[in-house]
Structure 1
């Protein structure tokens, strides 16, 4: 089940003021811009808190190789090869092959592997195979892995073409290039886990969350991610740093969380993961917080295995006033939801929300990162013990700063009045959308008794994100937000509505290659909502395409009716989830979320190309440096900015390498 919000690349608004001389841009290549983010408030923390954060960041980055290996079995070997050629190259650095290799290196570092982080398509090298072989031959002896194996993986477009395939009617495991399964078919995996599940268990574990499913001696089995098992070298280093952090924890609850996470990494037992998740969800007092482990399942075509991910953060007390108001009124929002009362929670428990300052991004949250998190994912834990939602406002602020004055509004927004409204209110309504999505959207509703939380299968992530977005959109237009003091203008919500429909119908198409379908779960979710609202609103002309000077624009004629449509769709998607209606969910996704109008797509790509805006953005991390006394004991931690993108990822590869490349060295 998905519980992350991913930002779109457009934006305007007014985040909190930050130093004007801060350099947000770290690099730009291909379809990507890499940014820097600040960590305001770090210096105001106590030395104990700063040291605690330091060890948590070391633990976070120590899991880097796990994600690379999860994303593809040859990724680490290819990274070794490409980094080796790049760092040892002594020729003309303006040579076209070298420049192409540099771009390819930046792409695979950004995606943690050879497939695009969003489209899931394999990168196409701009350098020749002959040139790469020649350069590999110059590397020090023993540093090059089996080229005969790697060259087809790098250059042949038919070999491992897609990391995650979601095409209806195909074997999603056999046609996906990730390294979560080996030698098994989709039917075999589904049969294996169906045999393990007990439909009468009211506290089921998250089957398959931390394993690779393989066939050994003709029998389907799981290789568990744990110390002494799969990924033990990385997990040992993670645990080493988690143990070092324990003396600096703020309180006993925090120590218990870290200790339970260590126990889980040692055992690999999903019951231990549940114990950790419960302790984490119930800790709402600590200033410093973190996630670390196998969490989100977007990289698994069956939506089970969690990608390694970590975010270390601390609470933004001032901005959290907003989320505390929202979470404090969670029952009101649930009671007034437009869904069938059968699918509402009678009692909303333990919903907490805060705005955080991200201190480090790692694994599946680096370099591309979510802007909001809502965890745990297990429905029974959420119902019995609550959930915790966060909005990463220093990240949304950095996105906004980078987008300022980029020409997006002038090119795509229909008129000056709408553009002015977005300029004034989009930053706050965007953040409120994330707050509502994470805090209440994912935490709303309930499954009917006996419904498997994995019943929606490959479409589960898309439909869950759709549900959370619809909840947020519906309530953004509710007068309750004015009553609570979260907005000061009854028209403010229109800024987010317009951006959302524009993005869902048009501008997110910049992230898709011509002729391709929409495949990433969040993009499918946004298109599903926008296209459904466009179609269902046609009788009353709620939304329309308008042509001006040969360009297509979105015009929203009735915002109140649009809100009503969001409520209608929310009711249906909640029904689908609550009842586990796979057929209805699949039909909704296939009808509205997947296909692209080729003419509109071409127009959007042409118009966007003139703006020189990167469709995708990500971040480099700050550097944390320990301060030690004469005896070498750490006494404090300082923070530094300014490290560039390639130097950072190359440093990570050198200093945090934990896993072998899984190929025989020549």
Structure 2
């Protein structure tokens, strides 16, 4: 495990410029991320993750954040405490004990007797330690993946290992029943029945009747996965609703709540259509089961929460770029004279997206990305639109890294001077022209295409 670098994300100058209504709105939205953090630990890969998370918080509370007092009491040495804080920082940054990028497991560089000594701080820390004392250092598993000797995943919990074939089988059932996979997990019962665990506040169980009952496995839909944490998320979204800036925000908050309560992702898709129309908000947000990076099958998503404040000056610069986006699209390598100079691989009308430079106030995810293009639903992006955001304070902080091991010492001053601006504009163009352009060629209905199937465009 490499030593982590800890960065300070500056936000006070923007938060202090908000009205009292906007401050209350951002506060309640940010509080949701506290419960989303627990949700992430439950959904993204590893059974020992949640007790480790609670253990770190329990130790923090036991010393009121004064870690040196634990050393002063003689519980552990300075080196022990430094090693523990190194592990805790890496764990919290990755929302678990597997790296968000790469999914490899990391273990603490801490003597186990020192960790056990820390566990004596309170009755609660003792109980939590007992739940992970063996698994925190166990290798294998080495990484996230379908459960087995070398990998594990909480997307597929239970004593009976779920295989890739099981995931493929259940996907066909879910498609037939119009059940989206993003907010689900899959469990295999002792009798071979496949159980779809759907995240929702509401509880319920139903059996899906599909195909030949003699040859098809029993498939059950169990609602209520993560119900307690989602209930708290909904409570804070409801409080935020009281301070929303406009009807559009109140509408997508209501659609968030409806989706999280019922597990219905059609309501969540509706929230994304509404969210897109909330142009240039002072307080931006992203909530929901968004990215499927950590699912070995690539469809089940972790629950993310981002609350951020817009920087008006930086956003104005990005808006000017967006206003001239058609000119840049016509310079892409596949652009030809057709379609007003954009070529056949682009939509006839490019709808300029809302492109904001935002500063993170609260961000809970296994990967803190520098820029985002959302929603992830291609049909909504193509038919309704999308938003681009650049998380500016995250990028600025990263540019202050203590070391750059792959840069020659003679080139380091030049690299430091230009790294942030080069990185910033690379991400800007990645979001605007990478995610934002391109036409998804599909069969919209039987025999109806959005291109000429008899004369399809030539791959450039």
- Common fold: TM-score over 0.5: yes
Assess if the C-alpha contact under 8 Å between 1:180 and 1:212 holds in 2: yes
The 10-residue stretch of structure 1 (130-139 or 97-106) with the greater mean CA deviation from structure 2: 130-139
- Give the whole-Å Cα distance in 2 for the aligned partners of 1:266 and 1:151: 35
Verify the 8 A CA contact 1:308 1:364 in the aligned structure 2. no
Per the TM alignment, residue 425 of structure 1 is displaced from its structure 2 partner at its CA by 4.5
1:362 shift after superposition: 2.3
Q: Deviations over 1:220-266 (max 9, x none)?
A: 23111111311111111111111111121111111111111111111
Q: How far did residue 52 of structure 1 move?
A: 0.9
Tell me if the contact between 1:282 and 1:385 (Cα under 8 Å) persists in the aligned partners. no
For the residues of structure 1 that align with 2:459 and 2:409, how far apart are their CA atoms? 35
Query: Do 1:93 and 1:99's aligned partners in 2 also have CA atoms closer than 8 Å?
Result: no
* Conservation of the 8 A alpha-carbon contact between 1:209 and 1:295: yes
Question: For 1:205 and 1:446, how far apart are their aligned partners in 2?
Answer: 25
Corresponding residue SS for 2:169 = helix
Given the alignment of the two structures, is residue 118 of structure 1 paired with residue 106 of structure 2, yes or no? no
Distance between the aligned counterparts of 2:114 and 2:278, measured in 1?
Answer: 55
CA deviation map 1:437-482 (0-9, x unaligned): 112311221332149xxxxxxxxxxxxxxxxxxxxxxxxxxxxxxx
Residue 326 of structure 1: how far off its partner (Å): 2.7
In structure 2, relative to structure 1, the CA distance for the partners of 1:413 and 1:276 (3 Å cut) is: same
Q: Which residue in 1 is equivalent to 2:338?
A: none
Q: Give the drift of 1:197.
A: 3.2
| Alignment-derived partner of residue 223 in structure 1 | 197
Conservation of the 8 A alpha-carbon contact between 1:63 and 1:238: yes
Change in CA separation of 1:80 and 1:354 when aligned onto 2, cut-off 3 Å? closer
1:81-96 correspondence runs (5 A): 81=55, 87=62, 90-94=73-77
Q: TM-score, normalised by structure 1?
A: 0.55
Q: Is the 8 A contact 1:297 1:305 kept in 2?
A: yes
- Residue 366 of structure 2 aligns with which residue? 364
Aligned length: 404
Match of 1:343, SS?
coil
- The residue that corresponds to 2:449 in the other structure is none
User: 1:473 — aligned with what?
Assistant: none
Q: Could you say which residue in structure 2 is the equivalent of 1:390?
A: 389
2:271 to 262, 267, 276: 276
**Whole-angstrom distance in 2 between the partners of 1:273 and 1:51:** 24
Asked if 1 retains the 8 angstrom alpha-carbon contact of 2:357 and 2:391, the reply is: yes
- Do 2:372 and 2:389's aligned partners in 1 also have CA atoms closer than 8 Å? yes
Contact 1:246 1:255 survives alignment (8 Å): yes
> Where does 1:486-565 land on structure 2 (aligned, <5 Å)?
none
Q: CA deviation at 1:81?
A: 4.6
Q: What's the counterpart of residue 47 of structure 1?
A: 20
Contact 1:73 1:179 in 2 (8 A): yes
CA contact under 8 A between 2:116 and 2:129: conserved in structure 1? no
Once the two structures are TM-superposed, the CA of residue 131 in structure 1 deviates from its matched residue by: 5.5
Query: Does the alignment pair 1:177 with 2:146?
Result: no
TM-align CA RMSD:
3.3
Q: Does 1:157 align with 2:139?
A: yes
Q: How does 1:392-431 map to 2 (within 5 A)?
A: 392-400=391-399, 402-403=400-401, 406=402, 408=404, 412-413=407-408, 420=414, 422=415, 425-431=418-424
CA distance 1:66–1:299, shift in 2 (3 Å): same
Structure 2 equivalent of residue 496 of structure 1: none
2:9 is matched with which residue? 37
How far the C-alpha of 1:69 sits from its partner, in A, is 1.8
Distance 1:173 1:336, change over 3 A: farther
How far does residue 31 in structure 1 lie from its aligned partner after superposition?
2.3
Aligned-partner Cα distance in 1 for 2:273–2:149: 35
Helix, strand or coil at the partner of 1:121: coil
> What are the Cα deviations for residues 177-208 of structure 1, in whole angstroms up to 9, with x where unaligned?
2211133111110232134437xxxxx97831
Contact between 1:352 and 1:439, CA under 8 Å: does it hold in 2? no
Question: How far apart are the structure 2 equivalents of 1:191 and 1:334?
Answer: 41
- Of stretches 205-214 and 80-89 in structure 1, the one that deviates more from structure 2 is 80-89
Separation in 2 of the partners of 1:322 and 1:54? 28
> Which one scores higher on RCO, CA 8 angstroms, separation ≥ 6?
1
The residue aligned with 2:353 is 351
Q: Distance in 2 between matches of 1:206 and 1:325?
A: 41
| Structure 2 Cα separation of the partners of residues 178 and 300 of structure 1 | 8
C-alpha separation between the residues in 2 aligned to 1:343 and 1:172?
40
Q: Could you tell me how far apart the structure 1 residues matched to 2:349 and 2:171 are? A: 31
List alignment gaps of at least 5 residues for structure 1: 1-28, 166-170, 199-203, 452-573, 577-666
TM-aligned CA deviation for residue 130 of structure 1: 5.3
Alpha-carbon contact 1:205-1:270 (below 8 Å) kept: no
Q: How far did 1:122 drift?
A: 2.1
Q: Secondary structure of the equivalent of 1:412?
A: coil
Write the deviation string for residues 268-297 of structure 1: whole angstroms up to 9, x where unpaired. Answer: 111111101111112214322111121112
Answer yes or no: is the 8 Å Cα contact 1:388–1:439 preserved in 2. no
**In 2, Cα distance between equivalents of 1:287 and 1:125:** 40
Q: Give yes or no for contact 1:327–1:440 (8 Å, CA) kept in 2.
A: no
CA shift in 2, pair 1:155/1:223, >3 Å: same
Q: Which residue of 1 aligns with 2:206?
A: none
Give the Cα–Cα distance (whole angstroms) in 1 for the partners of residues 421 and 90 of structure 2: 32
Provide Cα deviations, 1:529-559, integer angstroms capped at 9, x if missing partner. Answer: xxxxxxxxxxxxxxxxxxxxxxxxxxxxxxx
Deviation at 1:125, TM superposition (A): 3.1
Matched, 1:373 2:346: no
